[in-house]
Each structure stands twice: as C-alpha cells, then as structure tokens.
Amino acid sequence: MELFEIWALSLIVFLPLAGALVALAIPKEREEAVKLWALGVSGVTLILAVIVAARFDFGAAGRFQFEVDLPWIGAIGANYHIGVDGISLPLLVLSALVVVLCVIYSWKHWDEPHNPRGFLVLMLILATGMNGTFVALDLVLFFIFFELVLLPMYFMIGIWGDRTMRKIPGFKKEVETRLYAAIKFFIFTLFGSAFMLLGFLALYFKSGSGGLDPTFDIPELIGRGFLFEGTFAWLVFGAMFLGFAVKVPMWPFHTWLPDAHTAAPTVGSVLLAAILLKLGSYAFIRISIPILPETAREWAPFIAVLSVIGIIYGSLACLAQTDVKRLIAFSSVGHMGFVMLGIATLTEVGINAAIIGMVAHGLITGLLFFLAGSMHHRYHTREMSRLGGNLKLMPVLGGILGFTAMASLGLPGLAGFWGEFMALLGSYQPLPGLSTDFFRTAMVIGAIGTVLTAGYMLWMLQKVNLGEPSSEWAGKKFHDVDRYEMIAWVPLIVLIVAVGVYPKLVLGVTTDAVVGLVETAFSSVLGG
Amino acid sequence: MGVEVILNQFLILAAVLFVMGVYGLLVRRNAVMVLLAVELMLAAVNINLVAMEAFWQTTEALGQILAVFIITVAAAEVGIGLAIILLIFRNRRSANVDELDLMRW
Amino acid sequence: MTRIDWLAIAPELVVAGTLLVVLAVDLFLPRERKYYVAALAVLGTTLAMVPVILMAVAGDSYSMFDGSYVVDQFALVLKGVFLVAGYLVLLISVSYVESDRFYQGEYYLLLLSSLLGSMVLTSGRDLVVLFVALELTTGPLFLLAGWRKGDLRSNEASLKFFIIGVLSTGLMLYGMSLLFGLTGELSFAGIREAIASAGLASEPVLGLAVLLILVGFGFKVSAVPFHFWAPDTYQGSPPPVTAYLSVSSKLAGFVAMLVVIYLALPAVTEFWGPALWLMAAASMTVANLSALRQTHLIRLLAYSSVAQAGFMLVPFAGAAIADDGLAEGLGATVIYLVIYAVMNLGAFAVVIAGGRRIGSYEISEWRGLGSYAPRQGVMLAVFFLSLAGLPPLAGWFAKFVMFRAILISTGPAGVWLAVIAAVNAVVAFYYYARVVKSAWFDKAPDVIPEDTEAGPTGPLNLAVGVSLVVVLVVGAFPAIATFFGDAAAALVP
Amino acid sequence: MVNAGLTTIYLAAEEGAIHAGTGGIWSEWAGLMLIGPMLAFLVIVMFGKRMRYQGAEVAIGVMAFNLIWSTVLLVLNMGDEGVLYERSIEIARVGGGLVFELGWMVDGLSIMMYWVVAAVGLAVFVYAHGYMKGEIRVTFFFAALSLFAGSMLVLVGSPNLVQLIIGWEGVGLASYLLIGHYWEDKENSSAAMKAFYTNKVADVGLIIGVIIIGVVLGSFHYWDLAAAAAEHSDLLGPVAVTAAILLFIGAMGKSAQFPFHIWLPDAMAGPTPVSALMHAATMVTAGIYLMARTFPLYQELATAARPWMIAAGTITLFGMGLLALVVDDIKRVLAYSTVSQLGYMMTAVAAGGYTAGLFHLFTHAFFKALLFLGAGSVIHAVHSNNMSDMGGLRHHMPHTYRTFVIGSLALAGIFPLSGFWSKDEILATLGYEGYNLVMWIAVAGAFVTAFYMARAVSLTFFGEYRGHGHPHESPRIMTAPLWALAVPAVIAGLVNIPGLKLPLIGSFTSWLSVRSVSMGDHHAESIDLGLAAAGLAAAVAGLWLGWVAFGPKAAKRRAERDWVEVPGLYPLLRQKYYLDHVALGMVWTIRSPLARAVNWVNDYVIDGVVNMVGALCQGLASLVYRGVDQRGIDGVVHGVSYGASGMGGLLRRIQSGRVQQYAGLLVAGLLLLVVLVLFVL
C-alpha cells in the first residue's frame, strides 16, 4: 500500500515513456502489436491515475498527496519533487484519459505518411510530458516536462500534418501548412519558455536571500513569497507570464494556435486542445499566483483585459473562418479567455472556474477535434462551404457534432457551462483590492462573448450539419461513426454530461485546494 | 636615466615592430611575405620579453625562457606555414592569399 | 623541489607513447592495413583514460615543476573530457580517413599530438606551459585542416586557419609579454599576487595585456569578432577534423581562458568582464543570425559552434559581475563544455555518416532522410535538438546552468545578457530545426541515396551510440554533469 | 380587493407557522417528474429506433406518469392546507461560500406549472403521435420533446436560480432542435438559430442577474432572495434594480417580449405540436414564471424596474396583436397572438398582479395549445400553412372546427370561457394598481385579439375552400387531444372566479399564494362588473368586426385580399415594424465586417507582426551574414588599412585579400574592444 503511494505518480509519468522506448523495439511492420502495446501502456497509466484518484484523500485536497521528494540535481538544488493536490488531480486524470482515447481513435485513422509506430511513440512521450507537468512540484522538473511536450507535438504536426499549400500573409512563397505551423508552434512556445526559465532562475536566487538555501521547490517557494516583491517580482511575473500566456494561449500570443490546430493530425489537435493548452493556465494557478500573489494582483487587470479581448476576438474570428478546424481552434482562444478571466479574478470561484473550464474545454474541444478529424477523413475537405447536410449523410456523427457544439457554446447542464458561468461569477466580485467596476465590465463583455460563441457554433452547425448535402457528395457512401471512434468518443460524451450535471466531480476535488491556495496567497487582503 | 629609459626605448621599438608586423600581415599579398610579417611580430614580442627580463632580473630568467620557447615554436610554425603555402602553390600556381575565396557565400 | 610524479603525467605519457608507436608502426604497415594505426590510436586514448580515472577516484592532487604543472581535479576532469572527445573523434575519423585513403599514419599522429597538447594545457599553470600547450594543440590542426591535399577548399581552409592563428598567437604573445613586463612573473599564482600587491588591477596597460591575451583565446574558441576563420575552415577541412576543431580545439581555448582568468586575473574583472560580455553577446547574435542563412550543413555547424561559444562565454561575464560568480561561472562553463563536447561530436558523427551516404552536405539534399534512414534521422534530430537546448536532451542542462550563472547577478548587465541569450536560444532553434525539418518533414528524393563508400562504419556508429547515450542520460540525470562542474570548481580557491 | 402583505406571510413561512403539509412521498419523490422525461430522452435516443412506435410510447408513457403525479400534487395542494416541500442536492461547492444545487421544489406555483406541463404535454404528445406519422425523424422528434418536457420541469421545479438557468437553456435547446426539425431547408434551420440566438442574447441578462443576486446574497436560493427582498436587505438593495432589470431581460427573451419577440413567429417553422406545447403553452411562459418566482424582488425592492417592464409588456400586448392581423400563415397568426398574450401576462405580473398573470398563463396554456393543435390539424389536412389555401373547412373537419372555435372564443375572452376570467383579472389588477392607460390599452388589445381570431376562423373555416386536394378530418388520435384541451379551455376559469371559492378545490389564488414563496400580490376578490363589461364589449366588437371584414361575404367581395390595407400602418405591420431588419443588420454587422475585420487583423496584423519578426530575423540574418560577417569587413578592413597607410604612407593602393579581411576584422575587433573596455566602460 505504502509502495503504491510512493510509486504511483512516477509510474503514471514514466510508464508511457518506458512504453515508448519498448515500442521502438517492436518491428515497424507489426502495427497491431504496436497499437496493442500503446493501448496497454496508456491504459495502465489511466488505471493508475484512476486508482490515485480513488485513493486520494478528498478531505485534504489542499495538501499534496502521493508526494515524492528525492534529490535529483543536487548541485543546482533541483529535486525530483512530485505530488498531486486537488488542483492537479482532475487534469492528471483527464490527461491520462485523453491519451487512451487518442490511441483508440487512431487505431484505424492514420494520416499520411502512416507509420503508426512513430506516431504512437511520440504520443506516449507526449503523455509523459503532460502527466509530468501536472505533478511536478519543482520548477526545474516542471520546466523539463513543460518543454518535453514540444518535441513530439512538433514532429506530429510536421510529419503527419496537413500538406496543403498555403499562402502566408507577408511571405511570397507558398508553404505547406504543416511546415509553417510546426515551426511557428515551436518558436512561439520556446520563446515564451525561455523567458519563463529566466523567471524561474530569478526566483531561485532570490529565494536564497535572508540566509535561506535557494530552492526550486514550489511549495517551499510559496512559503517564501514574502521575499519576492517590488520590481523584481513584477519582472519575474512578466517573464513567467510570457511562458504561460503563449501556451494558454492568450491574446495576442495566440496566433500559433489556429495554424497548429489546422495543420496537426487529428490526434495531435485533440491532445493539443485537450491537454497542452491547459499546461499554461495550470501553471498560472500552480506557480505564478501562489508564489507571487502580490504581483498577481498588480497583473490581474492586465490579464483580465487580455482574456476579455481573447474572448471577443476569438469568437469574432471564428465567424470569419471557412475551415472547420480553424474555427474550432479559434474557439479555443475564446474559451481559454474565460479560463484566464477566472484566474485573473484571483478569487476562489474564479480559479475554480478556471479549473473546471480547463477540464470542460479539454473534453469538449478534444471531442470537437476528433469530430473534425473524422469528417475530414470522410469528406477530404474542411471547407464549410462544401460541407453541409452532414447530419443527413452521417446521422450519428452529425448528432455527436451537434451535441458537442452545444456543449462548447456553454449549454447549461453540460460541462462547458460551469467554466463560463463561474468565471463570470468570479468577475462580479474579484479579490478585494481589485477594481470591481473594471472586473464587472469584463464580466459583461465576457457574457457578450458567450453570445458570440453561441453565434459561431450555431452558424457552424448550420453550415456543416444541416441543410441538404451538396451535390458533390451525391451517390457517395459514407461510413457513419465506426467502432473505434465510438469507443473513443463515448467516454468524452459521458463525461461532458456527467460534469455538466454534477460538477462536483471536478469541483469536489478542487474547491478545498483552491480555497487553501487563495487564503494562503491573499491572507493580507482577505483577513478579517 | 638608466634602466627605465632604455627599457622604454626597447618597448617602443618592440611596439613599432609589432605594428609593422600586423600591418604587413594585413596588406601583403604574397603568403611568404605574410609569414615574414608574423616573424616580425614574434620578434617584437621577444624583444619585449628580453628587455623586461633585464628590468625584472628574475631568478629563473623567465623572460628569456619564454623567448626561447617562442623562437622554437615560431620555427615550427613557419615550417607548417611554408608547407601549407607550398601545397597551395602546387595546386593553384600562386601563393597570393587574396585569391582564396572559394567559400565566400 | 622538483619531483616528477610519474602517475600524474601518465596520461600524457601514454598518449605521447602511442603517438610515437603510431609513427613507427605506420612506417612498416602495408597500405591496405593502415587502419591498424587507427586501432592503435584508439587503444592509446582508451589506455590513457585509466590513470586519469585512477587519480580522479583517489582524489589526489599533484604539483610539479615549481607549481608550473598541476594535476588536480580540474585538470583531471578536463583531461578526461579531452580524451573522450579525442576518442570519439578518432572513431569518427576511421571510416572517413579510410575511405579517402590519405596519409592515415600521419593523420592519427597529428591528431594525437593535438590531443596531447590539450591535455598538457589542462595542467599548465604558467604562461610558458600554456603557450607551448596551446601551440601544440593548434599546430597539427593547421596541417590537418588541409589534409585533403588535392582539394582547393581544404588548402584554403588550412591557410586561412593558419594565418589567423598565427596572427592571434602573435597578439596573445604580445599581451603575455606586457603581462610579464608589468608583473615580472610568468606563473599564474605569481601574476595574481603581483597584481594584488602592486595594486595593478586598474592599470590600463594591464587592460591592454588582458585584451590581447583574450584575442588568442577568442581565436581558439572562435568567438566573435575572432571567429572569421571558422566557417571557411570548418567547411573546407575534412569533416572529422572539423569535428575536432569545433570541440577539442574550442575546449582548449576555453580551458586556457579558464585557468588564466580564474588563476591569474581574478581581480581584473574590470577588463575581462566587459570584454567577455561583449564577446558573448556578439558571438551569440552574429553567429545565430548568420547561421540562419546557411545551406551547407558543416558551415551551419560552424556558425552553431561560434554561437555555442557565445553561450559558453556568458558564465564568464556573470563571473565578473556577481560577487560569488567565479565558482558558479567556472562550474557552469565546465558543465557546458562537457555537454557541448559530446553533443557536438554526436552531431558531427551523424552528419559525417549521413554525408557518406548522401554525398553532400547541402541541407536540401538531406531531405527525407528520416523516411529512408529513420535511425540516422532520429540521431540527427536528437543531436541537433540537443544543441538547441531542448529538454530532455542534455543540451538543456548546459543552457540551464549558463542562465543560472548569469542570473546569479541581479544587476541589469546580467539580466540583459540573459535576455539576449534567451532570445538567441530561440533564434538558434530555428536553424537547428531547419535541418530536422529537412530530414523529417520534406519528401525524400526520388532516387534514395545508398551508402557506397568503402571503409568500416562500425566506429562511426559506436561514436554516435556513445554520444547518444550520454546525451540522453545526462539530459535525464544532469547530476552526472554537475559532478564535472563540482570537481572543476575546485580550481578556484 | 385585498392587499396581502408579503412580508408577514413570508416570515410566517420561515418560522413554520404557515399551514402547509409536506406532501409526503409525493413531494419527496417529485423529482421523478423531472428525471423521468430526461431518462425518456436518453432511452429514445439510444433505443427509440428499435421501438414499435419509434419511441413515442416512452415519451407518452412518461408524460402520463407525470400527469398522474402532478394531479395528485395538485389535489394535495388544494384546500386550506397546501404543500410546501423542497429538496436539494449539492452539486458543487465553488468557494466564496457559494453552493450550486439541483433539486425540486413543491409549492403552489411549481405544482401549477408541473400540472400544466404534464397536461398540455400529454395532450400534445398523443396528438403528435398521430400528426408525425410518416414524417421523418419521428424518434428524434419524441426524444427532443421529452428533452423539452424534462428541461421545462427542471426549470419550474428548481428551488434556485442556477438550476433555473439549466432548465432555461435546456428548453432553449429543445426549442432549437424542434424548430429546426426539418433542417434540410435552410429557412427552418435559420429559424431555429434565430430562436436560440435571440434567447441567448437575452440570457446574458438572466445570467448576469443571477450572478449579481448570487454573489450579493451568497446564495442562489429563491427563499433567500425572497427573504432579502422582504427584509429590504442592505446587501441586495443597491443592486436590486439592476438585477431585476437583468432578470427581466432574460424573461423578455424567453417570453418573447418586445423587442426580443422576433424569434417566436419564425419558430413556427417547427412541427405544429411543437408550436403548441413550447411556443404557446409552456416554454414561452418561462419568463412569466421567472417574474413570478422572483416576484418579491420586484414587489419590494426593485419597484423602479416595474415601469419599464410594464412598458415592454404593454407594447407587446398591443403592438404584436396588430401584427397578427396581417399575416397569412395561420400559425403565425397564433404566434403573434401568443406574443401578445404573453404581453398581457408580463404586464400583469409587472404591475403587481401575481395571481392575474399566472392565472392567464394557466388558462392561456390550454386554449392556445388547443388553437395550435387545431391549426395543426388543419395544416395536416390541407398541407399548407397559409390561410389563403384554406377556407370552408368547417364541413370537412367538424371536430377541428368546433374545438378551434372554442379556443378562439376563449382567447378572445368571451364569457364564460376561461379567457374571459383571466383577462378580466388582469384588467382589474391594472385598474387597481392605477395603471389606467395601460388598462385601456389592454382593453384595446382585447379588441384586437378578438379581431384577428375572428379573421383567422373566418378565413379558415368559412367561405370556399381555396386549397388543393380534399381535406379530411384528422384521425381520432389527433382530435381526441383537441377535445381534451377544449374542456379546460372552457372551464379553467372557474378556479379563479372572483369571490367564488369552490369547495374542495379552493381558489387559484390560494393554490398559489399561500403556499408559494412569492406572495403579496393583489387580486380581485369580486368582479368589477364595469371593467368586465368593457373587456367583453371590446372582445365582441372585435369578433364582429373580424367577421364583417373577413367573413364569407367579405371574402367574396375581395377574393384575393384577406387583410385590411390601412395606408401607412399596413406596410409597417407587414414588415413587422422592421425589427427583423434591425436584428439582421446587427447580425450582419457582426458576421461580416466585424468578424472579417478581426480575422484580417489576426492574419495581417498580429500574424503579420509575427511573420514580420520572422522575416525581419531572416533579413537581419542576411544582413549580418552577408553584410557584416562576409563582406562588410571590406569596409572595416579598408578603414583599418587606410589608417595604417595614412600613418605609414607606405602604400597608395590598398590591396586586401580574403584572409586578410578576416585578419583585419580581427584586429579591428580587438581595437574596438580596447576602446570600449579601456575608454568607454
């Protein structure tokens, strides 16, 4: 039993990586074996994650559990410190789940140039990076995992990505979408994380003032928050902000996202939307706010402004898209805007909103990308003007698309609603000291954003799902949802409904942790 | 007077020689002349060292030791240099250093 | 008191012995058996590792020739690095030298000479040893650069390297003479004390001397603005030689810089601090930007190595700024050196292996490598992305300690350099990724190139394998690299 | 008339002094009514296709179950001792002391709604089973209907505002699905979108209003809201008007109040049973329900909001009634009529007529559903929505004709049908509260109502048949629900005849007000004969005028025209006051210039900057590499050499070669360093 406590998280993190290495040993031609292996590895990871969730002490969700703290790079004070609390647990489980679903989905869906082994290996490495980020409690460790996800995604986009030629505004030559998107994704993220690393190091050295040993340990740094103040803290927050905001992505650092999503293979898009984007917002909650609470208060209005711009801007941009995937990608900008708006309020409700928003967005947008991929697989186009009548050609697929779109536009009773609603709820009364007028304005604009969201989702549904199918598809036989797709999607659908009806599934874990976080970080303004 | 003044004169001589060496290296086309320019520079260094040794009078005669090493190494370097120049001359029938621009983008 | 401790100089003796044996054996070997000398050379370097490891484990420190020659942990660590680097270069060389069938015996002889020079360098604690060792390191390389005798480019590479080399040697020697003139000492310790006792730390002439000496080192490490020879020479030289140039030769420059700055001139931060700050910033920026335009893989690696030199100079700048920067900077530099050596050699090994097959170093010709030679493609990606500094490949840790060493100072100078380095790290990724992109994302040519060159590929693959393991393991467990850093940090009192 | 004090009653309830039973297991398990249709939805979606009646049996079965259950509750609630029960399950604790709950509330108001939904729902479901025979996607149709019923019950059964929102948008979704049932035609899917979207816009108000109340009170519970309102809570006070208006905006959307009514006529694109159930009887009354639920807020604190609400209601009740005069589509006639009647209800509730508004909601549900189903029956027979294709159907469709006329008379407010009583109650309340102008407009509205209903009946059932084919009476499965609804349409008024308290049943007011959270309204205790007469007179006049203008004789006179072309007014009405143009204009502005501008900004400005940085780096790289690293050295070398030559004067012409350029640059770099380090820094 004790053994499990110690090993569980490490296994969740490194099992996929080990699995990836083993998979490399399987001959490339034996595709079934590779797939089964990947499924097994990710499945076991998921089971472990579920067991961790089951054995998690919900009464002490604010405390780190399954904690392991071992020396790792002694010379620079970095430790192998991992653990989960109520904030990271839902995301960890989500991450483990989505990977399994992606493996299942990709069973029969391979983009050119095929090569399942390579793809699955990358996916497993990605899983390690994602799971690791959610459990890392050491800045260096966090940095490693945070960066680890870049490479697999880069290759996924670059190798299996969209090969259509595209004219890039500002450049003379046409390039393949995937090439442009892959490098853009990478450069953007790397740019952010380079500054993030500078921020981490600055924190480290500053934490050593006053006779203490400098440390990268996140809980330890939270305790030393008093050391970080003034311009120093402001700059450090800014440096980390760059790193996280690019990943979220917040306006105006978002432009890599539509390109990356459009270009990525289906599973890549799913993972990108469902998990990778969460790394940034999670980092705000895990690192920026608790360690630099005072500075977070200074930055909060700024973050709120960008979030609100993101919400409106993302929605409006969606309305101008002609490509389904690109539309969904832009919708992420809007949805993550709500997440960040929640965080910017610095309240319990707001941060809770962010977490459930992340989970919901992961489920919903992940599913949307699955659907977009499956549609592309069948129609070989994503142009909405050519689609139409999808519901008639493929009733089940169309139905699920309709369901997901509804979830995405924040229909109450489905998962997407809570994130938006609670973000607005938090904005009405932000942390004391923040301007209520300001945040209430943000709330109203955000609420208008929900209207726009509904607008583009409905419009997309009308274009894609409804109407008579274009004559182009006349006489063509379309396979409706196949078995693998069904197995991959049903869990998401069930979860969207379950979280929607019973948000306690997520909030029950997070609330205590969030309350603890906010109370610790902002005791000065909340006191009394 | 005395050591100070003489030292300064030697140092100035060395500096002038050194600058001439650098100048020669920069402007002479013929590779052999370039080599000679290098010798000039090294000679300047040696003058410096010997003059300073005269000033410091160190027990191990450090300046001289270094100067001797420099002379030795310089001989080897010239050997290497000449070998390279010979090689180039064989291939190109010219030893002009300004003609070497094959790798200019 | 002059007592020669034979164990202490055993590594150098083994290498020197191997060198002589190679020379002798080469005379008697028939042409088609010449590769035996390669085996001998490899054996020699491997043997030389033994005393190094023995001494390192024992933790002893030896001082000889009135302190001119010191074998301490710093020296041992770097000797080890030089030996490993030399070992890898030898492995890389085998197939190339064999396939081109040129003077194999002499090739290994010169390579071992250079290796010997750099090993001596690590122990040298006065200007004489330093100078001789540096020349011994560089001299053979002038010749090796021109080893493809019939190739005009190779000739050109050689001559350029030579001329710039001797110029910088001249400048450095002039600086040394000035240093001697000011202090009357040649040993590092003596110079340090003389500067302290005579209060010379702010003397402008001393500044001139320091800068002149830095030229010599700047040339060796190919830092901007002393790097101009590097691209041409790298491109023109036989690739294994380039690998050696970009690693061992560069390392030698850094070792020289380390011992001189940390042992002789720690108090003169006023001069070398800003100079190295400027050199670091310029190297990173100019080289990274230049690298963006390269289409030739080796030339790209040349600029990459200049840029990496810039990154390696960053800790020096930090050392000048922060109070306790010296030890931090030393550790960071050594860690960077160790990691850089392995990953850069790995990169060269892969490039040479690919070059054999593809027959060209033009990046566009490497398109689709990953599709027809996945293993090579993976290796290429691993090493290039490690050079770019991506976790979890070893390169990240090098960059990490580099940032750490500069950010230890909270002043604006440090932060700005850190920001410059950060932006450069991002820019650098672009050109490394371009190679990866060509190999993996672009479509393979219609005719897939086959490896038709003669010569064994085993050693080359071994070199790749060793580098790969190191890059991956150190990336995951950087504590291994910090061991080198810690050991080396003993240099600073 | 009586002015029941809200405060006292509320506080009494709080202290348990009120005489109310819990309803026993019927209340404890009332949640089954909420869950049942939801489960039915799931079951039908998953297994419906394999069922004999394509899922209709499940939907109808569940609805019958609900009707039985709610009838029991209704009965329990009658008499002196009512039912008051509430049960909530916490679904999330979100921090900041806020809790989200799901649950159900059993009190007068919700029981009335449960019953209306179940009763009308059952009738419509049964009818639909006949109506939809042979249509496409019947399974899905019943699934969506069940979803609607479930959502509606979730809405009306909710004890708190958050669950209300869930139900609120749930019915919106069902509405979207059902309006767009024939989504192959873009027109239909557009109508569905319009409905959903208009509501979504209004929901912004609802959501923000709920947020304000929730945050300020720390609770979303109606009880707490009522308590705070009753106590004139300091917390709630400052934001009460804002919150009230915001909630009202939400209600305007769902209840199609001007100017948010634009979606409802278009919503007629859905199958007729849908229109009957959702867009007439139940869903659109959700707004009224919300106003009733939060009545204390408006009554006690947010009185300043009431004039606005009354204004909106009045404009709706009159202006939208007029529109019903000029449309040809029978369903649209009924739709505008619905909008107008909703205006009555809203006006009443806003004016303080809690009972009046709800009573009209109650009676309207039956007769309007009846009318819609009748219209559906007609449409089923003639395969057209347009009255110009109908005429003379009274011979062909006797059942439909009779029930339709009953419904029309009820709607027109003819004594003693249910509509008469409820409309009179509204007029009385308005009069009592002193809104005389509004009252007279309402009387005029009654005239208009009667007018357009007379027109509709005349054009549909009288004169000559103008359509194609031979219309037949609908099957019994459709006519039976018509009659079933006709009964309450006639007698529903009995429950609230002023001054008359039926034995056992008690009065409508007592159903609602004593046991309800929201109380303290003013309702008529006795008939104001003058007012009743005025209302009745207006109705009769309207009927007469309609008959004269559009009756069989008139039709012969003007064969082609079935409307009155009043100059100036007519075009305005035909264009629906141009509100659709305004709305479309807004949507277009967002869709086209704005969205495109944003996308342009994205691609050319933000991305432009990104790409420019990329290009700039490339350019800079070229510059550095070619200009500085490889060639710019020429200049530097020349400079250095020039200096050297100037000094020495040895060479007139500088000849520099490649290597020497490098060397020169090296020296230049050194000099630069020397200058910088020794002299500058």
**What is the nearest CA distance from C380 to chain A, expressed in angstroms?**
13
State chain C's mean pLDDT as an integer: 88
Q: What is the pLDDT of residue D650?
A: 35
For A74-107, write each residue's pLDDT tens digit. 778 889 999 999 999 999 999 999 999 999 998 8
| Beta carbons of C396 and A150 less than 8 Å apart | no
Spatial CB neighbours of D600, under 8 Å, sequence gap ≥ 6:
none
Span A167-175, mean pLDDT? 74
pLDDT in tens, D182-226: 888 888 888 888 889 889 889 999 999 999 999 998 889 888 888
Q: How far is B97 from chain D (nearest CA, A)?
A: 6
The more confidently predicted of residues D203 and D24 is: D203
Query: Has residue C257 got a pLDDT over 60?
Result: yes
CA neighbours closer than 13 Å in the CB half-sphere of residue D473: 16
B4 neighbourhood in chain C, CB within 8 Å: none
- Chain D neighbours (≥3 Cβ pairs under 8 A) are A, B, C
pLDDT tens by residue, A179-216: 888 988 988 888 888 999 999 998 998 888 877 888 89
Q: Tell if the CB–CB gap between A425 and D98 is shorter than 8 Å.
A: yes
- Give the helix ranges, DSSP H, for B57-102: 62-92
Contact C441 A205 (CB under 8 A): no
How far apart, in Å, do the first and last CA atoms of chain C sit?
22
Helix H or strand E encompassing A82: strand A78-84
- Has residue C222 got a pLDDT over 60? yes
Work out the percent of chain B whose per-residue pLDDT is above 90.
34
Instruction: Inspect the interface and report whether the beta carbons of C156 and B103 lie closer than 8 Å.
Output: yes
A349, amino acid identity: V
Nearest-angstrom CA–CA distance, D384 and D409: 24
Q: Quick check: D652 pLDDT over 70?
A: no
Choose, out of B17, B19, B26, the residue to mutate when testing the contact with D (most D CBs < 10 Å). Answer: B26
At A375-386, the pLDDT tens digits run: 988 888 888 888
Residues in chain C whose Cβ is within 8 Å of chain D:
159-160, 163-164, 167-168, 171, 204, 207-208, 211-212, 214-215, 219, 224-226, 228-229, 231, 271, 274-275, 278-279, 285-286, 289-294, 427, 430
Report residue D562 as tokens. 């079935």
Decide: B and A in contact? Rule: 3+ Cβ pairs under 8 Å: no
Residue-level pLDDT at D53: 85
Query: Binning pLDDT at 50, 70 and 90, where does residue D429 land?
Result: confident
Chain B residues touching residue D644 (CB < 8 angstroms): 23, 26-27
Binning pLDDT at 50, 70 and 90, where does residue D522 land?
low
Query: Residue D549: what are its φ and ψ, rounded to 5°?
Result: -75, -35
Contact D328, D268 (CB under 8 A): no
Mean pLDDT (whole number) for D390-395: 83
The residue range of the domain holding A435 is 3-527
pLDDT at B93 over 80: no
pTM of the full structure: 0.91
pLDDT (tens digit per residue) in D471-516: 888 888 888 889 988 998 988 888 877 766 666 666 677 677 544 4
Residue of B nearest to D645 (CA): B23
Note whether A113 contacts D: Cβ–Cβ < 8 A.
no
Residue A30's SS3 state is: coil
Q: What integer best gives the mean pLDDT of chain B? A: 84
The distance of Cα C387 from the centroid of its chain, to the nearest Å, equals 14
Note whether C touches D: 3 CB pairs or more under 8 A. yes
The pLDDT value recorded for residue A244 is 93
Lowest average pLDDT, out of A145-149, A467-471, D630-634, goes to: D630-634
Would the CB atoms of D658 and C164 count as touching at under 8 Å? Answer: no
Structural domain count of chain A: 1
ipTM for the assembly: 0.88
Question: Which chain C residues have a beta carbon less than 8 Å from that of D619?
Answer: none
Task: Tell me the residue type at A444.
Answer: V
Of C159, C226, C290, the CB nearest to D621: C290
Q: Is there a contact between A151 and C371 if contact means CB atoms under 8 Å apart?
A: no
pLDDT for residue D649: 37
Residue of C nearest to D621 (CA): C289
B 39-78 near C (Cβ less than 8 A): 41-42, 44-45, 48-49, 51-52, 55-56, 58, 62-63, 65-66, 69-70, 73, 76-77
Contact present, C289 and D624 (Cβ < 8 Å): yes
Sort out which chain C residues have CB atoms less than 8 A from D626's CB and list them. 293
Q: If you average pLDDT over residues A305-329, what whole number do you get?
A: 91
D 629-668 residues with CB below 8 A of A? none
CA C483 to mean position of chain CA atoms: 19
Q: Mean pLDDT across the stretch A274-294?
A: 92
Residue C145 Cα, gap to closest chain B Cα (Å): 10
- Contacts of A193-196 spanning 24+ positions with Cβ under 8 A: A193/A143, A193/A146, A193/A147, A193/A243, A193/A246, A193/A247, A194/A243, A194/C422, A194/C423, A194/C425, A194/C426, A195/A239, A195/A240, A195/A242, A195/A243, A195/C419, A195/C422, A196/A143, A196/A146, A196/A239, A196/A240, A196/A242, A196/A243, A196/A244
Residue C484 to residues C199, C337, C474, C481, Cα–Cα distance (Å): 34, 10, 12, 5
**Predicted pLDDT of residue C44:** 92
Which subunits have 3 or more CB–CB pairs within 8 Å of chain A? Answer: C, D
A402 in Cβ contact with A414 (< 8 Å): no
Partner residue opposite C207 with nearest CB, options D629, D666, D677: D677
Distance from CA of D603 to the nearest CA of A (A): 7
Q: How would residue D518 be classed by pLDDT, with cut points 50, 70 and 90? A: very low
Chain A residues inside the 8 Å CB shell of D200: 450-451, 454-455
Q: In the numeric block, which tokens belong to residue C223?
A: 């830092």
pLDDT band per the 50, 70, 90 thresholds, residue D7: very low
**Across the C/D interface, how many CB contacts are shorter than 8 Å?**
91
Instruction: Check pLDDT > 60 for residue D16.
Output: no
Q: Which domains does chain B have, with CATH numbers?
A: 8-96 (1.10.287.3510)
Q: How far lies C397's CA from each of C288, C412, D584, in Å?
A: 20, 24, 59
Residue D658 contacts C where some CB pair is shorter than 8 Å? yes
Instruction: Give mean pLDDT, residues D63-69.
Output: 93
Site of tokens 């008697």:
C28
In chain B, the residue whose alpha carbon lies closest to the alpha carbon of D665 is: B26
Lowest mean pLDDT among A433-442, C70-79, D225-234: D225-234
Check residue B105 and give its pLDDT: 42
Q: Is the pLDDT of residue B45 over 90?
A: yes
How far apart are alpha carbons C332 and D16 in whole angstroms?
Answer: 76
Beta-strand pair A78-84/D20-21: unpaired
Maximum C-alpha span of chain B:
57
Chain B's closest residue to D651, CA to CA, is B27
Give the whole-angstrom CA distance, residue C363 versus residue C392: 25
Per-residue confidence at D62, pLDDT binned at 50, 70, 90? Answer: very high
Cα separation of C22 and C109, whole Å?
6
pLDDT of residue C13: 93
Q: Taking all residues of chain A, what is their mean pLDDT, rounded to a whole number?
A: 90
The DSSP 8-state label assigned to residue D518 in this structure reads S
**Closest Cβ opposite residue A73 in set C370, C441, C482:** C482
Reading the block at residue D542, the tokens are 């309207």
Please name which of B22, C275, A466 lies closest in space to residue D675, comparing C-alpha atoms: C275
pLDDT above 80: residue B92? no
Give CA–CA dist A491/A488, Å, rounded.
7
Which among B29, B100, B104 has the least Cβ separation from residue D655?
B29
Residue D290 has pLDDT above 80, yes or no: yes
- Residues of C with Cβ-Cβ distance to D621 under 8 angstroms: 289-293
Q: Which of the given ranges, A122-131, C56-65, D346-355, has the highest pLDDT on average?
A: A122-131
